[in-house]
């Protein structure tokens, strides 16, 4: 059990868990400013893992230092609490989409969420550095089906290919397709 928390400073990472059969579920993509493993504060021994999607810079903070800081600055404690509730809100929406939406809408919503979160941390390019495998594991779909879903999104002129990366060309229609409403991210 670790004695520190990790903070993502630069880059994109993902939080995931792997099943016995090797299948992976990506729980969240993380951006600058996100704590990667705060949950270990409450659940030191769980199976959740973190991996970099791009190259990352990280910072560490000792648990006891963090606790001391919270004691000293109660508003930090409140901010961390709010961050946890926001994380829960994101998980809820993911659950709705994975549980109740077909592949096209599901992928569209996931992409909208990443665009919104990237924007919030100043990443304004519409080119998203995720592989089809990453998207498959986040959406709960097979790689092959993700690939075909992407082809459909490209056919609709919503996505385009840049070398190996995908680029969102028509964000409006992507959001329309997904019925995306960023309210749950605490954004406009």
Partner DNA sequence: CGGAACGTTGAGTGAAGTCAACCGAGGTGG
Partner DNA sequence: CCACCTCGGTTGACTTCACTCAACGTTCCG
In the bound complex, what is the minimum distance in angstroms from residue 93's beta carbon to a second copy?
8
Report CA-CA distances (Å) from 165 to 112, 128, 162: 16, 7, 5
Query: Among all chains, which residue has been given the structure tokens 């879903």?
Result: 149
Binding residues for a second copy, total number by CB under 8 A: 45
- Interacting partner of 69 out of DNA, a second copy, none (Cβ under 5 to 8 A depending on kind): none
**CA atoms in the 13 A half-sphere facing the CB of 85:** 7
Helices (H) and strands (E) in the chain, counts: 6, 8
Q: Which is nearer to a second copy, 9 or 81 (CB)?
A: 81
In the bound complex, what is the minimum distance in angstroms from residue 89's beta carbon to a second copy?
6
Grouping H, G, I as helix, E, B as strand and the rest as coil, residue 68 is helix
Q: Which is nearer to a second copy, 60 or 187 (CB)?
A: 187
**Cβ contacts of 110 within 8 Å, gap of 6 or more:** 94, 97, 135, 138, 139
Interface with a second copy by CB under 8 A: which range of 12-20, 51-59, 109-117, 167-175?
A: 12-20
- Interacting partner of 85 out of DNA, a second copy, none (Cβ under 5 to 8 A depending on kind): a second copy
Q: Hey, what are 52's tokens?
A: 């970099």
Using CB under 7 A, list all residues that contact DNA.
102-104, 106, 131-133, 140-145, 147-148, 150-151, 161, 163-164
Q: 49 to 88, contacts with a second copy by CB under 8 A?
A: 70-71, 74, 77-78, 80-82, 84-88
Task: Tally Cβ neighbours within 10 Å of residue 88.
Answer: 9
**CA atoms in the 13 A half-sphere facing the CB of 124:** 1
129 close to 119: Cβ distance less than 8 angstroms: no
What phi, psi does 143 have (nearest 5°)?
-60, -45
In the bound complex, what is the minimum distance in angstroms from residue 137's beta carbon to a second copy?
8
Residues at the interface with a second copy (CB under 8 A): 15, 17, 19-20, 23-25, 27, 38-39, 41-43, 45-46, 48, 70-71, 74, 77-78, 80-82, 84-89, 91-92, 94-96, 98-101, 139-140, 179, 183-184, 186
């Amino acid at each position: 059990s670790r004695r520190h928390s990790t903070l993502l400073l630069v880059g994109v990472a993902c939080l995931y868990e792997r099943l016995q059969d090797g299948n992976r579920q990506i729980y969240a993509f993380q951006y600058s400013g996100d704590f990667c493993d705060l949950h270990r504060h409450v659940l030191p021994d769980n199976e959740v893992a973190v991996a970099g999607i791009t190259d990352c810079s990280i910072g560490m903070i000792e648990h006891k230092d963090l606790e001391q800081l919270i004691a000293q600055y109660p508003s930090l404690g409140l901010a961390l609490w709010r961050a946890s509730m926001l994380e829960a809100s994101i998980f809820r929406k993911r659950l709705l989409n994975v549980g109740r939406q077909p592949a096209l809408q599901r992928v569209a919503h996931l992409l909208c969420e990443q665009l919104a979160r990237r924007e919030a941390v100043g990443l304004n390019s519409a080119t998203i550095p995720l592989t089809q495998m990453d998207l498959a594991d986040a959406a709960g779909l097979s790689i092959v089906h993700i690939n075909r879903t992407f082809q459909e999104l490209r056919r609709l002129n919503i996505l385009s290919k840049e070398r190996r990366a995908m680029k969102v060309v028509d964000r409006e229609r992507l959001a329309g397709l997904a019925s995306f409403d960023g309210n749950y991210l605490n954004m406009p």
